[in-house]
Amino acid sequence: MLSLSKLADIPIRLHREIPDSVALKQVTLKKEPTGEWFATFGIEVDREPPQKPDPPKNAVGIDVGILKYAHDTDGHAVESLDLSDERDRLEREQRTLSRKEHGSNNYEKQRRRVAECHADLKNKRRDFLHKLSAYYAREYDLVAVEDLDAKGLVELDGNSRNRAGAAWGTFLRMLEYKCEREGAHFVAVDPAGTTKACAACGVSTDKPLWVREHSCPSCGFTADRDWNAAWNILSRGITQLGAGRSESPPVETALPPGTTSVPAKRVMEAGSPTLKREPSGEP
């Protein structure tokens, strides 16, 4: 129950428990177009964010992409979330709305239905980004990504560029504050040339978008295009952080075996792109 002095007692549903130990600082009420009300609680937490390890021991580079949502240096290629069913439903409800008489009761009812579809899409998208960013912030102590001004976006047309750009910005902001909270370094690196450069030798080669494999004419190193980019992002992140200055870049010592495609569904259900192994039946 939310009690507002001089206003009302309102029954609420908590999406997350509020611990007893925290002090409530403020409440923000917001009415969504669906007609639902949301209350956001600002709380004060005593806990200092944990120390960031220096130098970091467990680093990851993530190439946020178009075909695959995120490609990391540990070989996970996380697929984009498939929301085509939700989009179809939205279009259907919008068509129905266009046939209703503007201002009628039925129009109002249908307008809410459309708003619910929008909210559903938005919530699922955010949920996916929350889970993915939480995974990286939790599992690593250095997370390197490209700064938002990204090359891939330029190659998209207007609408999908706006959508990808917005989702990208949201993902980076989530990653940043979650890294802060978990005591991990967050580094956004200069995106220029991360796809062209060879992660093994540094030589740059032009590569159109449809060439999905990196094959270095200089040293012969071959890898998935995005995975090569992820390694360059990680190397830049380490350099930028000033860590490992005396060490050789990790790419020379730790080339992972390859790339596994990860359905977005797994991230949604398990909260991690890593396959959880079934406990073995051995005694």
Residues with a known catalytic role: 63, 146, 226
Contact map string, positions 205 to 244, toward Zn ion, x by CB under 5 A: -----------x-xx-x-----------------------
Query: For Zn ion, which residue of 18, 24, 201, 275 counts as binding (CB under 5 A)?
Result: 201
Part in contact with Zn ion (CB under 5 A); list of ranges 43-51, 74-82, 94-102, 194-202: 194-202
Query: For Zn ion, which residue of 77, 81, 132, 198 counts as binding (CB under 5 A)?
Result: 198
* Torsion over CA: 8, 11, 16, 17 (sign): positive
DSSP state of 67: S
Q: Are strands 222-224 and 260-262 parallel, antiparallel or unpaired?
A: unpaired
Q: Which is nearer to Zn ion, 10 or 219 (CB)?
A: 219
Part in contact with Zn ion (CB under 5 A); list of ranges 95-103, 175-183, 199-207, 238-246: 199-207
Q: Which is nearer to Zn ion, 178 or 225 (CB)?
A: 225
In the region spanning residues 128 to 167, those forming contacts with Zn ion, defined by CB under 5 A, are: none
Part in contact with Zn ion (CB under 5 A); list of ranges 11-19, 51-59, 65-73, 193-201: 193-201
Minimum CB–partner distance for residue 74 and Zn ion (Å): 21
Q: Kindly report the CA angle at 114 between 112 and 118, in degrees rounded to 5?
A: 110
> What would the two tokens of residue 4 be?
């507002």
Query: For Zn ion, which residue of 200, 223, 230, 233 counts as binding (CB under 5 A)?
Result: 200
Q: Which is nearer to Zn ion, 94 or 215 (CB)?
A: 215
Minimum CB–partner distance for residue 80 and Zn ion (Å): 29
Q: Which of 194, 180, 274, 262 is nearest to 234 (CA)?
A: 194
> What would the two tokens of residue 213 be?
């494999």
Instruction: With beta carbons less than 8 A apart as the criterion, state whether 204 and 198 touch.
Output: yes
- CB environment 252-267: b (16+ within 10 A), e (fewer): eeebeeebeebebebb
Minimum CB–partner distance for residue 252 and Zn ion (Å): 12
In the region spanning residues 244 to 273, those forming contacts with Zn ion, defined by CB under 5 A, are: none
Minimum CB–partner distance for residue 223 and Zn ion (Å): 10
Give the CA distances from residue 238 to residues 8, 156, 169, 224, in Å, rounded to whole numbers and listed in that order: 53, 30, 22, 21
Minimum CB–partner distance for residue 239 and Zn ion (Å): 18
Q: Which is nearer to Zn ion, 127 or 213 (CB)?
A: 213
Minimum CB–partner distance for residue 217 and Zn ion (Å): 8
Part in contact with Zn ion (CB under 5 A); list of ranges 24-32, 72-80, 81-89, 201-209: 201-209
DSSP state of 203: -
| Rounded Cα gap, residues 273 and 271, in angstroms | 7
Q: Kindly report the CA angle at 140 between 225 and 263, in degrees rounded to 5?
A: 50
Radius of gyration for the alpha carbons in the chain, expressed in angstroms and rounded: 23
| Rounded Cα gap, residues 179 and 137, in angstroms | 5
Binding positions for Zn ion, rule: CB under 5 A: 198, 200-201, 216, 218-219, 221
